[in-house]
């Protein structure tokens, strides 16, 4: 053996980065994330025609997933269980539409009368109206002596409706197809995504994300649906006792609007205010439907919902408001329905990627994630 010693290669030590260099590195990373976020928003906005019905189909599929699971436990093939789920949804929506179509048409025809009654009921507020009138006159003077001419179209022409009909039909068909294929192939889709994971730890996290998304979204939507139905029944009974016509219609609308927090109840309050002003002789009596609805909605929001889905399941109201504003701006009324499920999906992802994050859903963690 040779006694010669083998010289090791010298270790090259780079000088530590300065604070300015670290700032540049962090800034470039934040900039890349911000640009990616803007690109995702632009893609969602530009692809609304296709992505909105697909997103709604996924949300409804998560909601009706437990029904498909029960059918498949009875050895029903996934393709057949998906067809049953789609048919159940279509029947429910069709029954709801048939129930509200006739009374809704009646109230739409009464809109001019309702507006006239509201004007009469609010005549006592002449001082406020005079102030508004003076403000309007001042705006006219600023705009010019002749004011600003505004033309109002009385309605959509037949040609416009005929042009838009194929687009709406295509979106409905895309939604139904998305709902069917999501329910029928949810296990195959999950398996295919898990196979793309290059290590066991990543595969474990992705599997937990799938599990949490299904549990959080389905449990939330099913619970909220039951709560909204009970609240709608209570609203309908209360309005019937007050003598408000078409109480089942307002009950049905209360069920639908309550799926969108904050915005939905405001719309319901505006409708009940108009109906109350049109049906009752005094301002105090006209406000009774609004007071009844607000009382029931407060009981539901403060007591019933926390009792059913857990008090800590109630997300931060500010985060919920931001999510609603973002999705309504992005996709309109459909975005308002998707906002909370999308927020729960984001939470499920962050909870598995960044452990320790708490958005106030510990109750579901203890109940479902064990």
> According to the model, what pLDDT value does residue 282 have?
76
Contact status, residue 110 vs residue 278, Cβ threshold 8 Å: yes
> According to the model, what pLDDT value does residue 367 have?
45
- The total of other beta-carbon atoms located within 10 Å of residue 212's CB is 22
Q: Which residues of the chain have pLDDT under 50?
A: 1, 143, 145-156, 312, 360-370
**Dihedral in degrees, nearest 10, Cα atoms 331, 334, 336, 337:** -150
CA distance 353 to 78: 31
Q: Give this prediction's pTM.
A: 0.73
Output the six-digit token pair for 331.
């996709």
CA distance 187 to 73: 14
CA distance 85 to 282: 48
Contact status, residue 178 vs residue 172, Cβ threshold 8 Å: no
> According to the model, what pLDDT value does residue 107 have?
82
> What residue segments make up the domains of the chain, in order of their start?
47-120+172-368
Instruction: State the number of CA atoms in the 13 A half-sphere of 114 facing the CB.
Output: 15
> According to the model, what pLDDT value does residue 89 have?
93
Say what percent of the chain tops pLDDT 90.
Answer: 24
> According to the model, what pLDDT value does residue 218 have?
86
> According to the model, what pLDDT value does residue 128 have?
52
Contact status, residue 141 vs residue 16, Cβ threshold 8 Å: no
> According to the model, what pLDDT value does residue 369 have?
40
Sequence-distant (6+) residues with CB within 8 A of 253 are 100, 268, 271
């Amino acid at each position: 053996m040779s006694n010669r010693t083998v010289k090791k290669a010298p270790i090259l030590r780079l000088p530590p980065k300065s604070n300015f260099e670290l700032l540049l590195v962090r800034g470039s990373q934040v900039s890349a994330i911000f640009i990616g976020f803007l690109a995702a928003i632009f893609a969602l906005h530009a692809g609304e025609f296709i992505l909105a019905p697909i997103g709604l189909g996924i949300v409804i599929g998560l909601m009706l997933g437990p029904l498909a699971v029960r059918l498949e436990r009875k050895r029903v093939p996934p393709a057949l269980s998906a067809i049953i789920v789609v048919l159940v949804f279509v029947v429910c929506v069709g029954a709801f539409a048939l129930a509200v179509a006739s009374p809704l048409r009646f109230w739409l025809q009464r809109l001019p009368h309702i507006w006239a009654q509201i004007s009469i009921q609010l005549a006592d507020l002449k001082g406020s109206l005079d102030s508004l009138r003076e403000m309007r006159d001042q705006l006219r003077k600023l705009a010019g002596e002749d004011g600003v001419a505004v033309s109002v179209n009385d309605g959509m022409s037949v040609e416009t409706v005929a042009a838009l009909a194929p687009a709406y039909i295509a979106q409905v068909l895309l939604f139904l197809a998305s709902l069917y294929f999501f329910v029928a192939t949810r296990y195959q889709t999950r398996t295919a995504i898990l196979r793309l994971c290059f290590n066991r730890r990543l595969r474990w996290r992705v599997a937990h994300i799938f599990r949490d998304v299904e549990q959080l979204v389905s449990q939330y939507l099913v619970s909220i649906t039951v709560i909204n139905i009970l609240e709608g029944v209570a609203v309908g009974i209360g309005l019937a006792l007050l003598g408000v016509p078409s109480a089942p219609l307002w009950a049905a609308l209360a069920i639908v609007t309550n799926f969108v927090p904050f915005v939905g109840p405001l719309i319901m309050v505006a409708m009940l205010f108009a109906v109350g002003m049109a049906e009752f002789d005094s301002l105090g009596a006209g406000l009774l439907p609004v007071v009844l609805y607000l009382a029931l909605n407060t009981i539901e929001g403060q007591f019933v919902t926390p009792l059913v889905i857990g008090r800590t399941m109630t997300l931060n109201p500010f985060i919920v408001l931001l999510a609603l504003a973002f999705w309504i701006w992005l996709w309109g009324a459909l975005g308002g329905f998707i906002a909370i499920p999308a927020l729960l999906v984001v939470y499920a992802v962050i909870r598995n990627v960044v452990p320790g994050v708490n958005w106030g859903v510990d109750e579901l963690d203890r109940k479902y994630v064990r």
